[in-house]
């Protein structure tokens, strides 16, 4: 059966580099995932109130779109979208009363009961390519590059939707990198708090980056545009406030995958990253000199 | 400072409202403090989760709703996966936020976000923030 692809609002603009590199890699690996023809914003966060069902309509409609296209799986890149879609899916699967109410409310849609499986792209690589095959397909192993996977929150919490605990590590190992595991890999970057509590947000991001500094990590690989914003784009602000935080280039994991697969520069989208990311790859001869 | 504790305060309307909205019972908390110790956003909180649970247990409605801490929560769920009593703490904090938001009191005015930041921020952060901070 087929795989649907849900981009989410951020990937078409601010995180274009995540989408472009991801889709180029799917083509290179021979995996077909079709973007849903009609999708809406998933809401970014999963509604936590028991008496609130209206905010479940958005993610559920996206799942219905996937089902209507005949897909048995829906893959996504943004960790926040993954979290929201996966939890909404479990709600429709497990909560009979809420499923009934939501299906009755969405009277133009055919009833949905969680038939589609939500699978994050990293896990898709595990099941549909496999680490051994991926390792064999790598053209430019990320040798000598000390990289840590930054899982963040929404890929691993709550437990019901968590990806496998070593998923990122296994992925990076298959790319030939020197995989570093650091305790702050699942510590929150502060997410949307950068909007309203900048001080506390930068402090939270500092904890993550300080951990990366202490463990002498060359680069962080991540899967969420908000994490990339807090830890990448705003890293200069973090470092201005906290002198013990070193400069740590940040990448979307798909950009590293594209480098390892030897894909052309235009597929990497490095212009949207901080300068340090492209500089690191050039310094390690992983992309051609300028 | 004297706190009046009675069956009335323990089973008061706020505790009931929080239980209805979150499906969680604050009385399950035995004050171990693991949640507060795990929270990444303690930087600007006046009080942490543990104390809020205690206040809920004692029926201190006005004092709890006056706290800003609920709006500093990043919904990271670290407390939720670690709570030894299995309390879904993010749901309790969301209930506290919603009680105020549904009364028409927004925490953040979208106009207050600096325009240059708004231009560069990922949509996911803006959508998430407005979901959590406005009614």
pLDDT (mean) for A171-190: 98
Question: CA A228, A175, A159: angle at the middle one, nearest 5?
Answer: 55
pLDDT (mean) for A116-139: 98
Which chain B residues are Cβ-neighbours of A11 within 8 angstroms? none
Residue B3, pLDDT score? 79
Instruction: Give B1 to chain A, closest Cα distance, Å.
Output: 30
pTM over 0.90: yes
The distance from CA A205 to its chain's CA centroid, rounded to whole angstroms, is: 17
Q: Test B125 with A195 for CB contact under 8 angstroms.
A: yes
Q: What does each C-alpha distance from A227 to A96, A112, A231, A290, B58 come to in angstroms?
A: 34, 32, 6, 28, 37
pLDDT-derived band at A290 (thresholds 50, 70, 90) equals: low
ipTM above 0.90, yes or no: yes
Cβ–Cβ < 8 Å for A55, A43: yes
Tokens 């496998």 sit at which residue?
A164
Residue B7, pLDDT score? 81
pLDDT (mean) for A38-55: 96
Q: How far apart are CA B42 and CA A200, in angstroms?
A: 8
DSSP string, A232-266: IITHHHHHHH-TT-----EEEHHHHHHHHTT--GG
pLDDT (mean) for A235-258: 98
The region of weakest confidence among A66-75, A236-245, B49-58 is: B49-58
| pLDDT higher than threshold 80 for residue B11 | no
- Quick one: which of A104, A108, A73, A101 has its CA closest to A89? A73
CATH number of the domain at A2-122, out of 3.40.250.10, 1.10.10.10, 1.20.1050.140, 3.90.1150.10?
A: 1.20.1050.140
DSSP string, A51-92: T--HHHHHHHHHHHHHHHTTEEEEEES-HHHHHHHHHHHHHH
Which chain A residues are Cβ-neighbours of B133 within 8 angstroms? 195-196
The region of weakest confidence among A202-211, B63-72, B90-99 is: B63-72
Cβ–Cβ < 8 Å for A69, A34: yes
**pLDDT tens track for B29-81:** 999 999 999 999 998 899 999 999 999 988 887 888 888 999 999 999 999 99
The distance from CA A237 to its chain's CA centroid, rounded to whole angstroms, is: 23
Residue A104, pLDDT score? 98
Q: Give the residue on A whose Cα is nearest the Cα of B98.
A: A49
Residue B9, pLDDT score? 75
Would an 8 Å CB–CB cutoff place B22 in contact with chain A?
Answer: yes
Cβ–Cβ < 8 Å for A6, A38: no
**Burial class for A141, CB neighbours closer than 10 Å (0-12, 13-18, 19+):** middle
| pLDDT higher than threshold 70 for residue A85 | yes
Instruction: Give A45 to chain B, closest Cα distance, Å.
Output: 6
pLDDT (mean) for A59-76: 98
Helix (H) or strand (E) holding A118: strand A117-120
Q: Which two tokens stand for residue A24?
A: 């180029």
Cβ–Cβ < 8 Å for A212, A235: no
Which chain A residues are Cβ-neighbours of B23 within 8 angstroms? 50
pLDDT-derived band at A263 (thresholds 50, 70, 90) equals: very high
What are chain B's domains? 7-104 (1.10.1060)
Cβ-Cβ pairs closer than 8 A, A with B, add up to 144
**Burial class for B105, CB neighbours closer than 10 Å (0-12, 13-18, 19+):** exposed
Query: What percentage of chain A carries pLDDT values higher than 90?
Result: 99
Which chain B residues are Cβ-neighbours of A55 within 8 angstroms? 131
Q: How far apart are CA A257 and CA A141, in angstroms?
A: 10
Cβ–Cβ < 8 Å for A15, A269: no
Q: Which residues contact A285 (CB under 8 A, 6 or more apart)?
A: none
Query: Mean pLDDT score of chain A, rounded to an integer?
Result: 97
Q: Which two tokens stand for residue B65?
A: 């709703």
pLDDT-derived band at A289 (thresholds 50, 70, 90) equals: low
Between residues B43 and A51, which one has the greater pLDDT?
Answer: A51
Would an 8 Å CB–CB cutoff place A197 in contact with chain B?
Answer: yes
Candidates A44, A158, A200; nearest CB to B128:
A44
What is the second-level CATH architecture of the domain A130-283?
Answer: 3-Layer(aba) Sandwich (3.40)
Which residues, numbered 52 to 71 in chain B, qualify as contacts with chain A under a Cβ-Cβ cut-off of 8 Å? Answer: 71
Question: String of b and e for A41-75 (b: at least 16 CB within 10 Å)?
Answer: bbbbbbbbbbeeeebbbbbbbbbbbbbbbebebbb
Residue B115, pLDDT score? 92
Which chain A residues are Cβ-neighbours of B127 within 8 angstroms? 9, 41, 43-45
Q: Test A45 with B94 for CB contact under 8 angstroms.
A: no
**Where exactly are the structural domains of chain A?**
2-122, 130-283
């Amino acid at each position: 059966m087929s795989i649907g692809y849900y981009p989410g609002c951020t990937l078409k603009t601010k995180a274009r580099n995540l989408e472009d590199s991801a889709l180029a890699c799917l083509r290179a690996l021979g995996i077909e995932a079709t973007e849903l023809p009609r999708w809406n914003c998933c809401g970014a966060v999963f509604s936590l109130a028991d008496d609130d069902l209206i905010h479940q309509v958005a993610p559920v409609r996206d799942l219905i779109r996937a089902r209507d296209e005949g897909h048995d799986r829906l893959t996504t890149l943004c960790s926040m979208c993954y979290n929201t879609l996966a939890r909404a899916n479990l709600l429709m699967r497990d909560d009979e009363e809420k499923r009934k109410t939501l299906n009755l409310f969405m009277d133009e849609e055919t009833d949905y009961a969680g038939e589609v499986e939500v699978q994050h792209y990293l896990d898709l690589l595990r099941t549909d390519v496999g680490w051994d095959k991926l390792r064999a397909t790598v053209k430019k192993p990320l040798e000598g590059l000390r990289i840590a996977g930054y899982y963040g929150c929404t890929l691993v919490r709550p437990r019901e939707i968590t990806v496998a605990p070593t998923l990122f590590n296994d992925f990076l190992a298959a790319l030939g990198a020197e995989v570093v595991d650091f305790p702050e890999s699942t510590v929150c970057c502060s997410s949307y708090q950068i909007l309203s509590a900048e001080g506390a947000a930068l402090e939270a991001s500092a904890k993550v980056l300080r951990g990366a500094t202490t463990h002498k990590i060359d680069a962080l690989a991540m899967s969420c545009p908000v994490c990339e914003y807090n830890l990448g784009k705003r890293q200069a602000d973090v470092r201005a406030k906290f002198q013990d935080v070193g400069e740590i280039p940040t990448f979307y994991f798909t950009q590293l995958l594209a480098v390892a697969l030897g894909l052309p520069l235009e597929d990497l989208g490095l212009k949207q990253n901080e300068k340090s990311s492209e500089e690191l790859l050039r310094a390690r001869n992983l992309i051609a000199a300028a | 400072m004297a706190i009046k504790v009675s069956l009335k305060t323990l089973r008061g309307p706020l505790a009931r409202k929080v239980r209805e909205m979150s499906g969680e019972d604050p009385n399950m908390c035995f004050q171990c403090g693991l949640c507060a110790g795990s929270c990444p956003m303690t930087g600007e909180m006046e009080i942490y989760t543990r104390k809020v649970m205690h206040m809920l247990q004692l029926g201190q409605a006005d004092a709890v709703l006056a706290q800003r801490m609920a709006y500093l929560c990043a919904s990271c769920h670290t407390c939720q996966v670690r709570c030894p009593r299995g309390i879904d703490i993010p749901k309790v904090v969301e209930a506290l936020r919603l009680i105020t938001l549904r009364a028409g009191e927004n925490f953040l005015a979208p106009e207050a976000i600096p325009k240059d930041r708004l231009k560069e921020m990922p949509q996911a952060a803006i959508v998430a923030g407005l979901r959590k901070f406005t009614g």
